[in-house]
Chains A and B, each alone.
Chain A
């Protein structure tokens, strides 16, 4: 509906393995964001992008990296997953200062 897709929707993996989550948009928005949602913490910004190859850190960026090689895709990578990174991850897109449209979320479990 807002033209944003996250993949995978669910993933279970082991500690120490690399994990990549993908966010794909068809809206051509400049801004893309990755959040994690944990009980008691709401939505916390991990990284965001304001253009191709332009990214900046959010409040909980340690242990995560991102890449945006084209407008429509924003990848979030956990280089070596830890149990503390078990969470629900949301991608969002928006024009500047406009409402964000969110993907359906990725439920990531790290055992």
Chain B
């Protein structure tokens, strides 16, 4: 069955430290998409990145970078030089096609709460 595991429930770092959030997934599909979302204390869910299964290039966006490795079924997220504003819950998600209807739904991990201390 499709599954997304975020084993780190909560991480605390001191400002300016680098931090990596882990995401491991399971899927039967050969074509799939992975996502990261951020949920700050205000509660809204903010999209960060989408990656398809055929694109294993790492991506960097400012202080954020993502490492996608199909060999280990992982899609990890690194924040470099963390800041207090990075404090949030981060979710990893996988899209999958339903075997019964052929339609698409998303499976989310349980999230990692990141606390960045000043």
Contacts and interface: CB of A to CB of B under 8 A. Distances in A.
Contacts of A97: 33, 52, 95, 104
B101 A33 contact: no
B33 A48 contact: no
B47 A100 contact: yes
Contacts, number: 60
Interface string A39-52: 01111110010100
A8 B101 CA distance: 31
Interface residues of B, number: 25
A68 B48 CA distance: 29
Interface string B84-98: 000000010101001
A74 interface: no
B106 A102 contact: no
B108 A42 contact: yes
B16 interface: no
Contact of A44 (B50, B95, B104, B108): B108
B110 A41 contact: yes
User: Secondary structure of the A side of the interface?
Assistant: strand
Contact of B50 (A42, A48, A54, A98): A98
B45 A48 contact: no
Nearest 9 CB-CB pairings of A with B: A42-B110, A102-B45, A99-B47, A43-B108, A50-B103, A42-B111, A97-B33, A42-B108, A97-B95
9 contacts: A42-B108, A56-B101, A56-B103, A58-B105, A90-B45, A98-B50, A99-B47, A100-B106, A105-B43
